[in-house]
Chains A and B, each alone.
Chain A
Amino acid sequence: MVKRRRAGETGTGRGQRGLDRRPDLGDNPGQIHRGVCLDLQKGRPIMTTLNFRARVPVFDANIGVGHLRNRASPFESPEQLLGEMDRHGVARALIYHLEGEAMSALEGNERLLSWVDGQSALHPQWVADPTPESLAQLQQLHPPGQLTSVRLHNTRDCGLPFVDWIYGELLEWLAAERIPLWLSLADTPAVEARETLRRFPDLVTVLLGAHYIHSLIVVPLLRQLPRAHLELSRYEGLGKIPPLIGEFGIRRLVYGSFYPRYAMGPMLFSLHHLGLETSDLELLCSGNLERILKEGEDR
């Protein structure tokens, strides 16, 4: 059973759990506000704590569970995953099975069931490939109300181009049912993503895995795909996120950790230090994902 911390409690280092540690203010005591105070001499903010925990509700849009054929996961159970989430103040997560993304959508989705059964904090995301069996599985899941989003399998791993004459039937059905699609830019060429998704203008998408190597792609791609959102787990070029907010608005951006490929905390910490208004930070960390899952973008 995972013991939950209350909001505002700090994370702790190994061997220090449960200690009540007050922040060390050094020689510059100022007004403390969320772990930050102001250097009275230089006017710069001073971090007052060596630890971090989210200060807004967090709903992680990108967590994979299960082992990969070539990489063992650092956690083996929902309880272990919930423990890591709790350490960073992440309340909920959208999870998919890594086997589904890399090997078999059908089998991965079946394995996902045991991860979400009875876990209100873990929301299932089902993986799809372009086979009729995969679509049939999704259609079977849909009536019970379990299908709030779909993630495309790894097209690069199996050498499939992301084109409408292969994926058209799947994409048409998702658009008609208003089910959003998660698509990895790490695994899908941007040209294919742009060309194919433009043919399904009603389809809401979340583009994953953009890296600094995508810096010159992201802005034009979001312009081309008005119903696309950008998940931020790997998008860490200096100063790259505020211009996206300026041009596209906070509603087009979604926080995800890409755990366990990436550590869960660093990007969450970074987003908390962009200088965003709390209301915008809340949208980024949970509100936008809630909206996408509940209602597509604007239905």
Chain B
Amino acid sequence: MIAGTRVIDFHGHVGRWDGTGMRDDPDEMLRAMDAVGIDQSCLFNIFHPDGRTGNDLTARFVKRHPDRFIGFAYVSPLMPDTMEPELERAVDHLGMRAIKIYPSYTPFPLDHPAWDPVYDFAHRRGLVIITHTGIEPTTAPRFLSQVAPRFPGARFVAGHAGNVEPFRAQAIRAALTCPNVFLETCSSFRSPGVVEELVQKAGAERVLYGSDTPLMDPRCQIGKILTADIGDQAKRLILGENACRLLGI
């Protein structure tokens, strides 16, 4: 809670990536969250293409602190037959509240039909899909401008908001042209003025705070919002009010 605003971190991971020193130690993650008033973090495991393995790990992780962590389901078109049944299992039985996709781990761009079963599932269920966006050929945010109108029941969140130019401009354009596209802020680039630009061009009601915890420290990433030259009401929307609205919590 920051100044009476419930704070939701919309982008976090379960799993280890030892080469970068990333490990999902819940105590360490909670310590960082507590230090800056983050109430809940949204988590997903993207390291297993079958979906089930990672989703079970996420569910187990969330179960230890259900008031602090929110699980998102992960599936991959690398194993297409598993996608829909795994989404049903993760959402209906594991309690996952949204979906994460990671096109960088596949040969399929965001607008490839291989992703349609995921989009269609989210459309029918009214769910949020957060996707990595950035410089990789499969993750260009411009694809969202084509996909989001086809699945109006789904809400799409551009993770990292494209990360750098010209992809950030693509992400903003997608948000401007599609009412069901949102922009999430975590990025290791931390360029000055980005949060201000997202708010100015897309509107604060379309921007979500995320950190990439535990790859990155949520304290530094939330610092991007709190030190941005934007108004307090914009900060409240970005820090949690938009996320609560999207997730229905």
Is the beta-carbon distance between A238 and B236 smaller than 8 angstroms? no
Interface pairs (18), CB distance under 8 Å? A13-B234, A13-B235, A15-B231, A47-B1, A48-B3, A49-B3, A212-B188, A236-B216, A237-B214, A238-B29, A239-B31, A239-B214, A263-B193, A265-B223, A265-B226, A265-B228, A274-B35, A274-B219
Cβ distance B204 to chain A, nearest Cβ, rounded Å: 11
Across the A-B interface, give the 6 residue pairs with the lowest CB-CB distance, nearest first. Answer: A265-B227, A215-B21, A269-B223, A266-B223, A26-B4, A47-B37
Is the beta-carbon distance between A16 and B35 smaller than 8 angstroms? no
Is the beta-carbon distance between B20 and A237 smaller than 8 angstroms? yes
Chain A, residue nearest B233 (CB)? A13
Interface string of B190-228 (1 = CB under 8 A from A): 111110100000000000000001111111111110111
Is the beta-carbon distance between B231 and A13 smaller than 8 angstroms? yes
Cβ distance B194 to chain A, nearest Cβ, rounded Å: 8
Q: Known contacts being A212-B22, A269-B227, is A275 close to B236, with CB within 8 Å? A: no
User: Which one of A195-203, A254-262, A278-286 is at the interface?
Assistant: A254-262
At the interface, yes or no: A140 with Cβ under 8 Å from chain B? no
Chain B, residue nearest A215 (CB)? B21
At the interface, yes or no: A88 with Cβ under 8 Å from chain B? yes
Chain A residue contacts of B1, Cβ below 8 A:
26, 28, 39, 46-47
- Please tell me which one of the listed residues B19, B226, B229 contacts residue A269 in the complex, with CB atoms under 8 A apart: B226
Q: Please list the residues of chain B having a beta carbon within 8 angstroms of any beta carbon in chain A.
A: 1-5, 19-22, 25, 28-29, 31-32, 34-37, 188-194, 196, 213-224, 226-232, 234-236, 239
**A298–B4 alpha-carbon span in the complex (Å):** 47
Chain B residue contacts of A11, Cβ below 8 A:
227
**A236–B1 alpha-carbon span in the complex (Å):** 22
Given A52-B223, A238-B28, A238-B29, 17 more pairs with CB closer than 8 A: A13-B234, A16-B232, A23-B3, A39-B1, A50-B5, A50-B232, A51-B226, A236-B217, A237-B21, A237-B214, A239-B28, A239-B32, A261-B191, A263-B227, A264-B192, A268-B227, A269-B219
